[in-house]
Amino acid sequence: ATNRTFTMIKPDAVKDGHTGAIIKQIEEAGFRIVALKKTQLTGERAGQFYAVHIERPFYKDLCAYMSSGTIVPMILEKENAVADFRKLIGATNPAQAEEGTIRKLFAKSIEANAIHGSDSDENATIEGSFFFANMEQY
């Protein structure tokens, strides 16, 4: 079925000028952009977004990194969106990401890994609503 996923281009990739190349790769893979903007998280809002990771040793660093610069959040639509998008971006750790994946091409480290992809339909909805009102989703 056609469904949606949520993604954001992370501060390292935006700073390095990879926004256009990443969006091109996403569209060429058949995803339709439902919502898109450029914004910046505060440390507090990053903490809310990543609340599921609050007990992880990398949580504090992750929140500092994710609020260190602008990001480009997007809602995307495609057949089998969540799983297909995770294939397109590759493994969390770029050292383990497959050739041609967005993280293999643009990620710098396991933390500064260029892009986010929701891990379930449920989280895609929650994460998408974190950034976009219903009337911003077309």
Binders of ligand CMP in range 41-60 (CB under 6 A): 58
Q: What is the CA radius of gyration of the chain?
A: 14
**Which is the catalytic residue, given 6, 49, 116, 118?**
116
Which one of 33-41, 80-88, 110-118, 125-133 is the stretch in contact with ligand CMP (CB under 6 A)?
A: 110-118
DSSP for 38-92, please give it: -B---HHHHHHHTGGGTTSTTHHHHHHHHTSS-BEEEEEEEETHHHHHHHHH--S
Contact status, residue 83 vs residue 1, Cβ threshold 8 Å: no
**Which residue in the set 21, 29, 36, 62 belongs to the binding site for ligand CMP (CB under 6 A)?**
62
Whether 53 is catalytic is no
Looking at 111, 123, 125, 126, which residue binds ligand CMP (CB under 6 A)?
111
Out of 116, 124, 128, 132, which residue is the one contacting ligand CMP (CB under 6 A)? 116
Among the candidate windows 17-25, 37-45, 73-81, 105-113, which touches ligand CMP by CB under 6 A? 105-113
Q: Confirm or reject binding of residue 103 to ligand CMP (CB under 6 A).
A: no
Rounded to whole angstroms, how far apart are CA atoms 106 and 47? 24
DSSP SS3 for 99: coil
Spatial distance between the Cα atoms of 131 and 110, rounded to a whole number of angstroms: 24
Active site residues: 116
Annotated binding site: 10, 58, 86, 92, 103, 113
Annotated binding site for ATP: 10, 58, 86, 92, 103, 113
| Footprint of ligand CMP (CB under 6 A) | 58, 62, 92, 110-111, 113, 116
